[in-house]
Chain A
Amino acid sequence: TQLLEQSPQFLSIQEGENLTVYCNSSSVFSSLQWYRQEPGEGPVLLVTVVTGGEVKKLKRLTFQFGDARKDSSLHITAAQPGDTGLYLCAGSFLNDYKLSFGAGTTVTVRA
């Protein structure tokens, strides 16, 4: 059973546009992480959020954690072709000592 839902599944935009990817769960996260995966490689950690309402910025990427710790979003400003990849959210839950991953959002940024 997939505990995390990501949307949209696919996103194709033009260079310079903005995009947002969402991650939702019916359960409360202890913590949530976002990863980016490029073809032929393993996922790479982008950020970890642990506090409800937390906002973190990484250059043009902004990550938000919902107040109730059940949802998160990743916003990319002025997307570039180098942002192309599979974006995965992953959460840990109380009393569960491992991560659960969402199915991922494939982002394509056209030059």
Chain B
Amino acid sequence: DADVTQTPRNRITKTGKRIMLECSQTKGHDRMYWYRQDPGLGLRLIYYSFDVKDINKGEISDGYSVSRQAQAKFSLSLESAIPNQTALYFCATSDTGLAGTYEQYFGPGTRLTVT
């Protein structure tokens, strides 16, 4: 079984709808992250959480919110989806690792299309 799972894998939604993307992990890592990937822009950090009580904004958090329900679960919500939020979304986890290297373990991604 995959260590980091994401649901749904694909989603098409309409402008203005609320949508939640879910992430679960069995790696036992404290740190979890949400990224979006757009062609030519690489991975950009939306939110990250270093433990259940710690939530931090990334570089592109506007229009998104998150919830860390447990060590193993981290959800990303789009309160009112807009077309420019069409992208590939990845959840990732990391352990503290060697000297703060933050090595990331990614889920398979969710392809979101907002029409």
Contact = CB atoms under 8 A, between A and B. Distances in A.
Interface of A: 2, 9, 30-31, 33, 35, 40-45, 48, 50, 88, 90, 92, 97-99, 101-104
B106 A48 contact: no
A99 B104 CA distance: 9
B66 interface: no
Interface residues of B, number: 27
Contact of B101 (A9, A31, A43, A44): A31
Contacts of B109: 40-42
B101 A50 contact: yes
Interface of B: 4, 33, 35, 40-45, 48, 50, 58, 90, 92, 97-109
Contact of A50 (B41, B48, B50, B98): B98
A43 B45 CA distance: 14
Contact of A33 (B41, B103, B108): B103
A98 B102 contact: yes
Contacts of B107: 42
Nearest 10 CB-CB pairings of A with B: A42-B106, A103-B42, A101-B43, A31-B101, A101-B42, A48-B101, A43-B106, A104-B42, A42-B90, A99-B102
